Structure 1
């Protein structure tokens, strides 16, 4: 499977740990003098945290960028395994907290004062960013975090297997269940949605015509359409046509490239590896429509760079972040397009991204444009964990969708009151 392996492929998009971020709570102030060479208030020593991307060359690239910066000595903590949050969040409470770190926009990080306001860095180039990327990082008119990459997630499929089974690309969730049944053989399962199915929980909500939260930060997922979608996923889960307990989870394309499944939910990041393994025998389609009021959907996840507002190196960290993620377009392009495929958040870079202009990459970009949804900044780790339980209890354990959604409502309401009153 090319340069990727099951042991080093880490989640490109939805690394979530409810307990980790919840533990931040009000967050005590973190000291900036970490004992690193040149550290303290001098601002000459900075530490940045990255999770271990699975694409070959990513660690070397990030360290190359940092080495090219002459404003400070930047050290990279490249955190391997599936425990990035478990390392990041506790570290933020200590004197060894990173000055700069990647994560996803989260209202709790902003409310706790953990991340710095970067509006002054972004304003001069704000119009060059995808407006959705700006909106997803904005609270009360201030912008927190700079998006590095946009990662559409959708279904990959094998056209040759569809032709052999005489099936068409499914437009509805019911059709996906039917297609998966016809594609399943003694050696190949019809579909793979991730080992615990949580990778498709937001697309399920969106495809049912609902949302996680509405614009007033109130519950928007508890609808008849979502309940029906959960019932349909339960039907697929128990059909025998779904690949369960794959050697690697959805972010790794190996189940698809090795022929274990005819359809797999994954991200655009995996496209080069998939194309190398399968050539032209690859297509993509969005999460199918759920119910009469629904519409097909694509999840646009991604990673953003944040500055630790509780450190003593805030100004130096902001200067470094501006240099790398605002000024250095060549590095931003390299990061988005040389190690897997990602949509650059900067319009000027995306418009010149020749690798995304034709063939399967162009199809992926079109799906993101036509059906893309960004996660809500108020949809926090604890809320995500609450809906993880919905998927476990309604789909894998056959609980009543309405009862399970009621239980999730209590968790989400409690979190909403903490954040918004």
Structure 2
């Protein structure tokens, strides 16, 4: 498989922009086969962000073509602003009938996404129950998970052996390892160009959480403050790769020898294995502080139906056909273009590619240390924690003050959403 695309788009973390639906301008048609945007007015239109793995666009269009009950046109949206194009389009008559995104409660509260309980309920027990929980509000299921994407550190075994470095078990040890692994040609570790991908893994690894089960902030703890201070120390150490040609989701930094350790996702594992063979290991985000525990963020993508569209029932039928009934395509999507864990238990259990070696280790970390999206953790909250890292890690603001600022945004959002 060819290397992932070299765009600098952080495409795998929950998307960047704050969620104000009116914040973006109009949508230009992107890619081919664009349905409504190119005169195909009779087609159901689906939006996908541009995956980096080779063959993904062709696969999604191949599935659509195989559907006999309606024409389905795909907008394959390239560039760094999928979410702004998606949410701008949802305000117009060019809005898609269905689209991929992540479970977030404001989509439900605003009536933007359709209730899919009737199509998911009959097979609910065959889904990873954490995926069902992350898409459920008041007993109703909104969205169908297509793939789960665990994220962890990949490392070059030979580089650690040469530097006499053990696999880090704590964030302190990660900093020490990065220092020992850094040479004049290689940096010790790469966390992506913005560091945004590791914010939630670090919060969880500190024994904290984004929200608790009462939808109250749970991230502002002493251990998280200590973690932020350690991240600042790493950022200024000279041991962190900064300004790499591609962001964390692309395996090129590790494959090209720019770094000894890289935070990335399981989707990149086949490309890394092809390039590095057995010289490749993985470990979770290491624990932060004594009360911490290693963590793995399970990102991924889900399919939603636009409840404000005029073809809701037809769109639901297509979602049911592809993402509920058609296990052959679900397996193909999860395992043929990079490695993703199928959210359907029956498919995951029969997936031979994930049963041995490094993929099996990835599944083990996913099961043991995995954290899934919290549907109450919204785009504005995500942005607020990114601002904490921007201020306190990349600049030198006081972590407590940065978290206080974050608290104001998060509490205002929570009040708006939950009263």
Q: TM-score, normalised by structure 2?
A: 0.95
- 1:5 corresponding residue in structure 2: 5
- The Cα offsets for residues 257-303 of structure 1, whole Å up to 9 and x where unpaired, read as 00000000000000000001111100000001101111000000000
- 1:203 corresponding residue in structure 2: 201
Q: For 2:414 and 2:143, how far apart are their aligned partners in 1?
A: 22
Q: For 1:3 and 1:35, how far apart are their aligned partners in 2?
A: 31
- 1:30 corresponding residue in structure 2: none
Gaps of 5+ in 1: 26-32
The Cα of 1:24 is off from its aligned counterpart by 5.2
Query: Does the aligned pair in 1 maintain the 2:284–2:296 contact within 8 Å?
Result: yes
- The Cα offsets for residues 211-270 of structure 1, whole Å up to 9 and x where unpaired, read as 000011100000000000000011111110000111111010101100000000000000
- 2:279 corresponding residue in structure 1: 281
Give the secondary-structure state (helix, strand or coil) at the position aligned to 1:190.
Answer: strand
Give the secondary-structure state (helix, strand or coil) at the position aligned to 1:18.
Answer: coil
- 2:313 corresponding residue in structure 1: 315
- The Cα offsets for residues 197-224 of structure 1, whole Å up to 9 and x where unpaired, read as 1100001100000000001110000000
Query: Does the aligned pair in 1 maintain the 2:4–2:251 contact within 8 Å?
Result: no
Q: TM-score, normalised by structure 1?
A: 0.95
Match of 2:85 among 77, 84, 87: 87
Query: How many residues end up aligned between the 2 structures?
Result: 408
Query: Does the aligned pair in 2 maintain the 1:394–1:404 contact within 8 Å?
Result: yes
Query: Does the aligned pair in 1 maintain the 2:14–2:299 contact within 8 Å?
Result: no
Query: Does the aligned pair in 2 maintain the 1:208–1:225 contact within 8 Å?
Result: yes
- 1:233 corresponding residue in structure 2: 231
Gaps of 5+ in 2: 24-34
The Cα of 1:347 is off from its aligned counterpart by 0.4
The Cα of 1:3 is off from its aligned counterpart by 4.0
Match of 2:154 among 153, 156, 163: 156
Q: Which runs of 4+ in 1 moved over 3 A?
A: 9-12, 33-39
- 2:31 corresponding residue in structure 1: none
Q: For 1:242 and 1:2, how far apart are their aligned partners in 2?
A: 27
The Cα of 1:15 is off from its aligned counterpart by 4.3
The Cα of 1:35 is off from its aligned counterpart by 7.8
Q: For 1:195 and 1:51, how far apart are their aligned partners in 2?
A: 20
- The Cα offsets for residues 35-86 of structure 1, whole Å up to 9 and x where unpaired, read as 87675xxxx5200000010100000000000000011000000001111112
Query: Does the aligned pair in 1 maintain the 2:36–2:45 contact within 8 Å?
Result: no
Q: For 1:17 and 1:398, how far apart are their aligned partners in 2?
A: 22
Q: For 2:281 and 2:11, how far apart are their aligned partners in 1?
A: 21
RMSD of aligned residue pairs (Cα, Å): 1.5
- 2:16 corresponding residue in structure 1: 17
Q: For 1:56 and 1:45, how far apart are their aligned partners in 2?
A: 26
Query: Does the aligned pair in 2 maintain the 1:195–1:245 contact within 8 Å?
Result: yes
